[in-house]
Amino acid sequence: MELTDEQLEKLEQMSAALMPPVEIAILLRIPPSEKALFIQTCKNHVNSPIYEAYQRGKLTTKFELRQTVVKLAKAGSPAAEPLAEKYIRDQLNNE
């Protein structure tokens, strides 16, 4: 399965908006016969440009949200501090 550069850009933008692959497939007008392959490619095909675009979009938003949480935690936000501590633990566990 291949997408145009324009479709890959749209895929990345929709993924950054935290849309699941099944909804992205509908918006990109992926034919019904290819939807299952598209969804699996987004999730598992690490050497595919589709996987890369989907993951890049999702991770961009994750990064931006974490930056905000860390900034708020440093400013003393009681709601953000536990999240920042969780991110630290997650990072240490995944190193």
CA distances from 58 to 11, 63, 77, 85 (A): 10, 9, 25, 22
* 9 CB-near residues (< 8 Å, 6+ apart): 53
Closest CA to 15 of 65, 45, 52, 46: 52
The whole-angstrom separation of Cα 95 and Cα 93 is 6
The pTM of the full predicted model, rounded to 2 decimals, is 0.87
Instruction: Grade residue 12 by pLDDT with cuts at 50, 70 and 90.
Output: very high
Are the CB atoms for 92 and 78 separated by under 8 Å? Answer: no
Residue-wise pLDDT tens digits, 24-73: 999 999 999 999 999 999 999 999 999 999 999 999 999 999 999 999 99
DSSP conformation class of 20: -
